Structure 1
Amino acid sequence: MKKVLSLLIASIMMTAGCSNAKNQDAVEKPVDVNILLPTSDINLNKEVTLRAEVSQNNKAVTDADEVQFEIGKTGEDSMAMLDAKNGADGIYSANYKFTDPGDYYVIAHVTARDQHSMPKMDFKVPATTSTNSGTGKSEHESHSGDDHHSDLMIHLMGTENLDVNKENVFTIHLMTNDGKALEKANVRIETWKDENGKHDYTDAKEVAPGEYEVKYTFKDKGTNTVKVHVEKGELHDHTEKEVTVN
């Protein structure tokens, strides 16, 4: 009887183990992101649609937590971060108007199913003889001129719905331009309300390869600034963003 009971227990444990392994494999399947640009030339001063096709195990992902398009000129700071709208069949899209010709890049920041993907695509905006062309900067430009992200992509998440006197959680994703996660870096945030006021520094903790987490409690409502500092070896990069604290 004891032998039969032992075999039964072993069988149940093996079945549960196989089930857990299957569930784990399903979770670990990577989320694939394919950037889709217009097949024809992108014209100046004419709105174009940027698309990202998101899938997992060859099935459309229609429940992504966040999809954004980061746009910038090659070798320069990013000039826009666009929130994408969820479309049918896992296609997320956003519109943008280019006002200057040149070599550009777009990075699709996709957070879905506990994964984060940041594919990058380079493209060219040709010069045209459009009468509306000019050298003015796009209304989407928001980054300060001292940011220098030529070697590193920094994505700060958790900047919405911030509350005063409450612990807020920020997630920071770091990736090199060749698509590799930047691991074991020294990452911290600098926060301030007034440029001449007190600046707080809070260290972030790496929770996954290239993913860092930091918690911070704001003491003042209104517009605050969050600046991310990244250091590893000779690399020292940063980016900053104004946030609204309720």
Structure 2
Amino acid sequence: MKKFAGIMAVLLAILFLGACGKEEEGHDGDRGEMIDVALEVPEKSDPGEKVELRAVVTQGKEKVKDADEVKFEIWKEGAKDDSSMLDAKNNGDGSYTAETTFAADGVYTVQVHVTARGMHTMPKKNITVGSGETGEAGHQGHEGDEGQVAIHLMKEDPITAGKETDLTVHVQKDGAPLEKAKVTLEITGTGASQKEMVPAAEAAKGAYKASYTFPEKGNYRITIHVEKEEGKLHTHQEEEVAVR
């Protein structure tokens, strides 16, 4: 009888541990689910009219109320280099909003940058203001590539001189993470002729990480170079950072 009781105790323990393992696996799966962002932008507007930009962030069926950063980037067609950035208000219900106005007719792109729970995504939509015609013609430079590729730099805040700093670059093409690209950070101190080229390694889909120690306090320029497919894709974006 004692032997039978011992066997039953062992079997019950095995069943209990197995159930716990499945439960933990389920929780891990929930944490690993990708965030989703529904960007809401009116299709049309008039010059000077107040426009609300709205992003709803979810993870599975859960509303994400604790996003680390949500910003709206806006630029006029053909003028990505002159884009402006708006901080979004957290409404506490998984939605993040900002208001803006457009001064002139044209087609504008609104791209939301969302960082939440260790992930980053940046969907975009267009809005037509007035007639949509700009009356401008001319050369757009790299706009063909930049209109398809979105680059976002995540960095520590504050950045301290003499301390190793983690830099993460998120790259998307046509709304999807850009994988297996060559990403290089060109770091230059303000007023300095010397520059350093720092390669970034892909740590996750579309996420490239690098570490760098800024030698002294001051302002630095980081030019992010993204290349793929033997030169068929080559674009860049500049960022200014302050080091304390």
| Shorter-chain TM-score above 0.5 | yes
Match of 2:167 among 157, 170, 181: 170
Q: Does structure 1 residue 219 correspond to structure 2 residue 223?
A: no
Contact 2:190 2:219 in 1 (8 A): no
Q: TM-score, normalised by structure 1?
A: 0.83
Residue 76 of structure 2 is matched in structure 1 by 73
CA distance in 1, matches of 2:195, 2:9: 65
Residue 225 of structure 2 is matched in structure 1 by 229
Q: Please give the per-residue CA displacement for 1:177-220, whole angstroms capped at 9, x wherever unaligned.
A: 2x221111111111111355210111111111101111111112
CA distance in 2, matches of 1:194, 1:150: 28
Which of the two has higher C-alpha Rg? 2
Q: Which runs of 5+ in 2 are unaligned?
A: none
* Misfit runs of 4+, over 6 Å: none
- Matched residues, percent identical? 37
CA distance in 2, matches of 1:196, 1:65: 33
Contact 2:41 2:125 in 1 (8 A): no
The number of residue pairs the alignment matches comes to 229
Show the 5 A alignment for 1:7-156. 7-38=11-42, 41-77=44-80, 79-127=83-131, 149-156=146-153
Show the 5 A alignment for 1:184-203. 184-203=180-199
CA distance in 1, matches of 2:78, 2:8: 69
Q: TM-score, normalised by structure 2?
A: 0.84
Which residue identity does 1:67 align to in structure 2?
Answer: V
Give the SS at the match of 1:89.
coil
Alpha-carbon shift at residue 76 of structure 1 (Å): 4.2
Give the SS at the match of 1:88.
coil
Q: Which runs of 5+ in 1 are unaligned?
A: 129-134, 136-144
CA distance in 1, matches of 2:179, 2:37: 22
CA distance in 2, matches of 1:57, 1:207: 23
Give RMSD over aligned pairs.
2.4
Contact 1:69 1:107 in 2 (8 A): yes
Residue 141 of structure 1 is matched in structure 2 by none
